[in-house]
Structure 1
Amino acid sequence: MDPHAEHLIVHFRRAEAIKADSLAFKSHSLTPRQACDLEMLLSRAFYPLTGYLGHEDFESVLASMRLADGTLWPMPVSLDVPASLGETLTCGEKLALRDAEGFMLAVLTVAEVWRSDPEREARALFDVADPDRHPGAREHVQATRPYRVGGPVDGLALPPHVDFPESRRTPAAVQALFQQRGWRRVLGCLSEGLLHCRHRAMFQQAARDMAGSILLSHVAGEAMAGGAAHFAGVRCARHFAAAFPKNALLLNLLPLCVRMAGPRQALFEALVHKNHGCTHTLVALDHADPLAGATDGNAAPFYPPGAAQRLVAAHEAETGIVMVPETPMAYVEEKAQYVPAASVAPGMTVKNIDAAECTRRLEFGLDLPDWFTLPDVAAELRLVFPPRSRQGFTLFMTGLSGAGKSTLAKLLFVKFMEMRTRPVTLLDGDIVRRHLSSELTFSREHRNLNIARIGFVASEITKNGGIAICAPIAPYACARAEARALVAPHGGFVEIHVATPLGVCEQRDRKGLYAKARAGLVKGVTGVDDPYEVPQAPEITLDTSALTPGEAAQEVLLYLERQGYLA
């Protein structure tokens, strides 16, 4: 394969031969993160890489941000696979890389296989002593599979995208546009979240400083995984780009997996910008720091302020891309415009709306002023993220058997049906066990799987504006957290701990479950010989030994009203 080729996609005749031979290949289904990495590899956004790093290169990148031959490359691009696959692979064999639907995107020729060490890798990659403290490091530890595979890749096709295809350009296509427009000085800017008027002022200031145009690379992965937020983010980025003078900014969607690795991430992005034809790269003072922009004054940043700028600047001669420092901007009411924050004089009125406040205003239907965000962006956000009174939500009850969850759930179901504001679905623990999880046992693994299924169904109900009332025992904190993570991106998640004491639950014992457990007839009963992990911070705590069902239901309704879910 020519290392200077514009992509790693093989000729169609070669692709036909590979497909014919692929019946004998082992296969690996790519995760969303891995699909992004593969697309970046195949498009040559990760030039000079022609495949997944081998063990020596991988370790060298972790230790020195260089490949074993000395080439600057800060991010270890590797393929991690399950043990069931990694233990069977041998050097020289072919591994088909497939998307979630089974479509073969590329073939990896296995050069090396070795066991991963996620915690050690995370400490080196994110420069932290305790991976659990850093969200990116924690995700790396949790998501990494037991084995890594290295070797060259032959691409058959880029991952297909039916969403916004006209805005998804390969590096070669981006460079061609630069040439057509006569752009010789281009500033690469990466965006992952929403962009508002402050960002426009920062980009314009940076473009003026380096006397060039802007490539805005908006991170956009898999549409099906991102849901409504993905489409809203891209449409908002389009509105943002349209606010710039014609021929001043090019918006391009980039399938980059952002790992929030601070200075290392900034240098990595600089090389990606270089591979798209940029001459300059924009770097923030707290670039790729998970705590960038945090409102908690007690939270110290993970990386020293300015470290990312210094690292990228120190490698300018080698990378051929110039670091442009991001200028923090502030909106001054007296001037009715954004100015460099360093130029704000004493006595001036500075106004700001952070991400948390923006979310609060959307949730409660409050104003987003024009000085903060573009009107078209505000309209898009209100459309996709309606106020809480029009959002779906999930009530997730957890507690011992006999605590009163089912009784409360049925009562709330009736109350919501009487209100007629949203469709309502009751996911009672026993009903779910009978219809959705009938094949599962009561092992810890199967209990967690049962809760994951409930969480998925609840997320779909919430996403579509309905009310999901869930009433399982859900004894384990990790499973409850997973259910929250599934639902929360789409609407409200209200955890209700029905904290009725075990003694009261045993007295009720409508199913005779506790009696059988005490007699040794059944095993694994929560509260008897299997633990119940008490929720640490539920939204609502109810003890039905001290409350009637009607009083408990009223507590829930009052909470929902206070939080804006009930108008």
Structure 2
Amino acid sequence: MKTDDYSESLVVHFRRAEVLRNHALELVSLNLNERQLFDLELIMNRGFYPLTGFLGKDDYQSVLHHLALTDDTIWPIPVCLDVNEAFAKSVRPGQLIALNDQEGFLLAILTVSDIWKPVKKEEAGLVYGTSNSAKHPGVRQLLERTESWYIGGSVEGVNLPVHYDFLQLRLTPSESVRRFTMNGWRRVLGFHTEQYLHCAHREMVLDAASRIGASIFLQPVVGLDHPGDVDFYTHICCYQVFTTKFPPNMIMLGLSPFATRRAGPREALLQAIMRKNFGCSHFMVSEDQADPFARANGASLFYERGAAQQLVSDYAERTGIEMVPQEDWGYHEAEKKYFPLAAGSSELEKITSVELQRRMQEGEEVPSWFTWPDMVTELQHAFPPKSKQGFTVFLTGLSGSGKSTISKVLLVKFM
């Protein structure tokens, strides 16, 4: 759902929030799953601007067939609230629903506009390029784990979802833009990543930013592997180390909640729109951006190589953000320098995140030209010897006694 609401947040004033909390006691409520919470947070903090809620049926159909909302605003992927049939049949258009997190804390009030049963195989074919769940993990998620009915409607935010980790890095779009302004940044290159970064990444990003005269906004994704995945904490700590390798006032790190669909070109276009909403003027896109098999050893890509770059570039004028192609770099040991692999020299050592992870898992030496020693130290937290692997804390108690909340706090403290 989209309106002409230009506010920087959909979280209401605290006095309105008090009214909504009291009213919510009388409303039907829905506890959101993790994927839905990510979508709701981006709707409320305007990372999904111009959406002001979950898509209604007309916008949903328009996005599927035209990559745009009904008012012709570019939007490539449906953002809908999926519910089971029993819940769908218990509500009606115009009704208010209290949207809660997984512990039952109120986050927002949804005003229902549409309730419908989508043809999910049609959605899969249009968004992912296939309706075969065996060929695409995103399709499998849609067909097998997403509920069969959708609800659309606008939201009034009461609270953003609660986080306990890396709070200083969880910037909303308005916060990131204010920091860019304070730093004097006019041109900003957005860099979306989920990989372990290394020395070649630094050279690649620096070269791309210098060519367009931009500063860098490194925005790794807080994805569906978190919480509970130690790899998440290692990733973020490594990104913090990575930013120290740049000149002063050159790079900024911020985390973004995002439920990846692995929808290839369409998802790359959505990522570009998000970076525009966070204040970026340019967005770096790899040849295999958002491909479900981009980092799978030995697996062929699902989408045509370069298709994501092409789609983001094709819509640049309408989205307002320019595409910058991501180039892979390698190391020339004789010259002690990094060069783009496109240079074609057979003497370039190829540096990849997959190889870095393999070396760490096998306990092999990682040369300093591959990645920095302090980065290796952080990575060792994710790949410890068996003698240093973890333990279990078992919590028991009645429903609503605080087990989940305590476990989340303990998780952050231990990490």
Q: TM-score over 0.5 for the alignment?
A: yes
Pairwise CA distance, 1:241: 1.2
Q: For the structure 1 residues 20 and 40, does the alpha-carbon distance in structure 2 shift closer, same or farther, using more than 3 Å as the test?
A: same
- Structure with larger RCO (C-alpha < 8 A, sep 6+): 2
Partner of 2:219: 217
Q: What's the CA shift for 1:227?
A: 3.3
Structure 1 position 24, deviation (Å) = 1.5
Which position in structure 1 is the counterpart of 2:263? 261
Determine the C-alpha separation between the residues in 2 that align with 1:386 and 1:334. 33
Q: How far 1:350 sits from its partner (Å)?
A: 2.1
Please, which of 12, 31, 34 is the counterpart of residue 32 of structure 1?
Answer: 34
Counterparts of residues 140-539 of structure 1 (less than 5 Å): 140-221=142-223, 225-296=227-298, 299-346=299-346, 348-355=347-354, 357-388=355-386, 390-391=388-389
Once the two structures are overlaid, the 10-residue window that deviates more, 193-202 or 85-94, is: 193-202
Q: SS where residue 384 of structure 1 aligns?
A: coil
Contact 1:365–1:386 (8 Å) recurs in 2: no
Deviation, structure 1 residue 67: 0.8
Shift of 1:365: 2.5
Deviation at 1:85, TM superposition (A): 1.2
SS of equivalent to 2:192: strand
Change (3 A) 1:232 1:53: same
Q: Secondary structure at the match of 1:59?
A: helix
How many Å apart are 1:7 and its aligned residue?
Answer: 0.5
Bigger-Rg structure (1/2): 1
Paired with 2:179 and 2:352, the residues of 1 have a C-alpha distance of 36
How has the CA–CA distance of structure 1 residues 20 and 220 changed in structure 2, closer, same or farther, with 3 Å as cutoff? Answer: same
Q: 3-state DSSP class of the match of 2:290? A: coil
Point out where structure 1 has 5 or more consecutive residues left out of the alignment: 393-421, 424-435, 437-462, 464-567
* Residues 205 and 327 in structure 1, CA contact (< 8 A), matched pair in contact too: no
Q: Distance in 2 between matches of 1:107 and 1:43?
A: 15
The Cα shift of 1:369 comes to: 2.1
Amino acid at match of 1:161: H
Q: Once the two structures are superposed, what CA deviation does each residue of 1:53-92 show, in whole Å capped at 9, x if it has no partner? A: 0011111111111112211111111110122311211111
8 Å CA contact retained: 2:359, 2:365 = yes
Question: How many Å separate the matches in 2 of 1:207 and 1:349?
Answer: 22
User: For residues 121 and 336 of structure 2, what CA distance do their matches in structure 1 show?
Assistant: 49
Q: Which residue of 1 aligns with 2:122?
A: 120
SS in 1 for 2:164: coil
Letter in 2 for 1:84: A
* Secondary structure at the counterpart of residue 71 of structure 1: coil
2:223–2:260: 8 Å Cα contact kept in structure 1? no
For residue 35 of structure 2, give the secondary structure of its aligned residue in structure 1.
helix
8 Å CA contact 2:329, 2:350 repeated in 1: no
Residue-pair matches, total: 392
- Distance in 1 (CA, whole Å) between partners of 2:337 and 2:87 is 57
Q: Does the 8 Å CA contact 2:264/2:308 hold for their aligned counterparts?
A: yes
How far residue 111 of structure 1 moved from its aligned partner, in angstroms, is: 0.8
Letter aligned with residue 215 of structure 1: F
> Would the alpha carbon gap of residues 141 and 337 (structure 1) be closer, same or farther in structure 2, given more than 3 Å must change?
farther
CA distance in 2 between partners of 1:274 and 1:99 (Å):
28
Deviations 1:207-233 (A, max 9, x none): 011111011111125796243222111
Conserved 8 A contact 2:197-2:353: no
Distance between the aligned counterparts of 1:187 and 1:176, measured in 2? 16
- Conserved 8 A contact 2:224-2:259: no
Tell me how far apart the structure 1 counterparts of residues 94 and 351 of structure 2 sit (CA, whole Å): 57
Separation in 2, partners of 1:16, 1:2: 25
Task: Tell me what 1:535 maps to.
Answer: none
Cα pair 2:313 2:322 within 8 Å, conserved: yes
CA distance in 2, matches of 1:222, 1:344: 37
Q: Does the residue aligned with 1:70 lie in a helix, a strand or coil? A: coil
Q: Distance in 1 between matches of 2:41 and 2:282?
A: 23
* Structure-2 separation of matches of 1:222 and 1:166: 20
Distance in 1, matches of 2:99 and 2:381, equals 38
1:79 to 65, 68, 81: 81
Instruction: For 1:385, give the aligned amino acid.
Output: F
Flag the 1:2–1:19 CA change in 2: closer, same or farther, 3 A. Answer: farther
Query: Structure 2: how far apart are the matches of 1:167 and 1:87?
Result: 40
1:91 pairs with 2:93: yes
Cα deviation, 1:282-302, whole Å, max 9, x if unaligned, reads 111121112224441xx4321
2:138 match: 136
TM-score, normalisation: structure 1 = 0.66
Distance 1:205 1:245 in 2: 13
Aligned partners of 2:131, 2:82: CA distance in 1, in Å?
A: 23
What residue is the counterpart of 1:561 in the other structure? none
CA deviation after TM superposition for structure 1 residue 344, in Å: 3.4
1:374 deviates by 2.2
Structure 1: distance between partners of 2:226 and 2:317 = 41
Tell me, yes or no, if structure 1 residue 6 matches structure 2 residue 8. Answer: yes
Instruction: Measure, in 1, the Cα distance between the counterparts of 2:363 and 2:113.
Output: 56
Q: CA RMSD in A?
A: 2.2
Deviation at 1:389, TM superposition (A): 6.1
Deviation at 1:343, TM superposition (A): 1.2
More helix by share: 1
Return the alpha-carbon distance in structure 1 between the equivalents of residues 87 and 53 of structure 2: 19
